[in-house]
Structure 1
Amino acid sequence: MPGSDGPAVIRSTLRQQIADALRDEVLGGRLEPGQEFTVKEIAEQYGVSATPVREALVNLTAQGLLDADQHRGYRVHEHTLADYRSMLEARGLIADGIFREVAEHGPPREDMRDALVSVRRRGEEASRAACAGDLNVLIGYDLRFWRELSALFGNAHLSEFLHRMRVKSWACAVTHLRRWSESDGGDLRGALWSRHTELVDALVRHDPCGAHAIVAEYNAHSLSLIERLATA
């Protein structure tokens, strides 16, 4: 019966909304690594029942953003530099798969070119935010940029895996970036990677080697920056 799916759909939507909100809290630095909380606390914060909260927290734990503690509830996962290096390596391998698709199937189709124009706009916003040192805006546009770009090439499973890797790597990096930007003299302007549009242009030109070089430079830049801030 059509009506029988209503409550399940509503609960699923609420669970996802809570998961998205908590993910944004982590990326925004409002939930810091090691910070603990319970299902009850989150349910009271959002004014909802415990069931969708518990489901959202289980989902975020499966994604590696939270750790579950049987007796204390949940805590924000504390990523190490070794974790960050591994995430960048995984991101690079998936990106190489995307570029392999470009190399094997020739220049983008006309409909794909139109879609790349939309992705390029996301890249322009991400680049502006990076140059301005606006971390909140950058993270949002950067995640959308890569999700839409990866969806055009390869398969949906790889696209979803890449998105999760990028969320986790931002969760790791943002701790160091925010601490530095909030310290005396810390300024992110000009320190963040901003070559999103160049990557799109390389794919439009059917230049997988150029695209690979841009992403390799991105990963090297990101790793160098986070390692420097972590040891500062």
Structure 2
Amino acid sequence: MAVQRASAPPTTAPELPTLGGKKSSYRERVVDALRAAMIAGELRPGEVYSAPTLAARFGVSATPVREAMLDLVKEGLVDTVPNKGFRVTAVSEKELDEYTHIRALIEIPTVVGLAGTADPVSLEALRPAAREIVHAAVAGDLIAYVEADTRFHLGLLALAGNAHLVEVVGDLRGRSRLYGLTALVEAGRLLASAQEHLELLDALLDRDKRAVREIMTRHLGHVRGLWAAHD
């Protein structure tokens, strides 16, 4: 869930359940929102951002933002700039190609396997997140798009019962940058990729492994296309 973006920062934030059944702290919610902003390309590589500036942007206090950015330093998403703030790190085209390749090796066979094993009730439980992705694409809300997309894909992979696999894919997603999202929103092309999530769910519920493989292959290809769109 996105961090509140109100004009006045809340003094406390309720703990919310996640797909894994754990509770997410206020600090973790700030980390998630900042990570989503970086992945969506709203926080640009090479730019330096101060904690107070980001706090005002997200409607929270500076302390959890500063703590969250230090967490993102450990993930390699930002570097500290003494007396100034944090600089978003850049990702090369070679790295993006490698991330896509690894994701394809992991996600395609895993999701195809779910066509024969996943509980229909658990699959249907992901439909609200799939719809959120579509709604965010229509609204042009890039951060909401990335947050819902992450919940959907990691929630789907979690149905395979391998927590380490989910962690690896989550790390790969976190290291990615979708620089082209803004241009795709303006061109009206983001919606097609968003709707593939609903298409994938329907294929899984139909136990159609061939369709699942085709949709997943096409979807990951679109994702790499989004990464490359800034070129």
User: TM-score, normalized by length of structure 1?
Assistant: 0.70
Partner of 2:91: 79
Tell me which of 152, 155, 170 is aligned to 1:145: 152
Match of 1:7 in 2: none
CA distance in 1, matches of 2:117, 2:39: 36
Which stretch of the first structure deviates more once superposed, 76-85 or 91-100?
91-100
Matched residues in 2 for 1:222 and 1:147: separation? 15
Which of 133, 140, 152 is matched with 1:134 structurally?
140
Distance 1:113 1:26, change over 3 A: same
2:43–2:88 CA contact under 8 A, matched in 1: yes
User: Structure 2: which amino acid aligns with 1:196?
Assistant: H
Which residue pairs with 1:210 in the alignment?
211
Residue 13 of structure 1 pairs with residue 25 of structure 2: yes
Does the C-alpha gap of structure 1 residues 40 and 221 become closer, same or farther in structure 2, counting only changes over 3 Å?
closer
Superposed, which structure 2 residues align to 1:89-104 within 5 Å?
A: 89-99=101-111, 101-102=113-114
Is the 2:39–2:175 Cα contact (8 Å) retained in structure 1? no
Report what 1:5 is aligned to.
none
RMSD, aligned CA: 3.3
The equivalent of 1:176 in structure 2 is: 180
The answer as to whether partners of 2:103 and 2:169 remain within 8 angstroms in 1 is yes
* Alpha-carbon shift at residue 124 of structure 1 (Å): 3.0
Deviation for aligned residue 1:55: 4.3
Over residues 110-144 of structure 1, what are the superposed CA-to-partner deviations in whole Å (9 max), with x where a residue is unaligned? xx2111111123223323544x3624243232122
- Given that 1:107 and 1:205 are in contact with CA atoms closer than 8 Å, whether structure 2 keeps it comes out as no
Scaled by the length of structure 2, the TM-score of the pair is: 0.70
Tell whether the 8 Å contact from 2:51 to 2:85 is kept in structure 1 after alignment.
Answer: yes
For 1:230, the equivalent position in structure 2 comes to: 230
Structure 1's 142 and 40: CA in aligned 2 closer, same or farther, altered over 3 A? closer
Secondary structure of the residue that 2:201 maps to in structure 1? helix
Are the structure 2 counterparts of residues 181 and 99 from structure 1 closer, same or farther at C-alpha, using a change threshold of 3 Å? closer
**Aligned-pair CA distance for 1:14:** 4.6
Distance in 1, matches of 2:190 and 2:49, equals 36
Which residue, out of 23, 26, 35, partners 2:38?
26
Larger Rg: 1
Gaps of 5+ in 1: 1-9
- CA displacement at 1:75 relative to structure 2: 0.8
Q: 1:70 to 1:154 in 2, by over 3 A?
A: farther
- Note the alpha carbon deviations across 1:130-163, whole angstroms, 9 max, x for none: 4x36242432321221122111114112112222
Unaligned residue ranges in structure 2 (runs of 5+): 1-14, 16-23
Amino acid at match of 1:63: E
Report the counterpart of residue 121 of structure 1 in structure 2.
Answer: 128
Structure 2 counterpart of 1:85, which letter? D
Aligned to 2:167: 160
How many percent identity over aligned positions? 29
What SS class does the counterpart of residue 195 from structure 1 fall into?
helix
**Number of residues of Structure 1 aligned to a counterpart in Structure 2:** 205
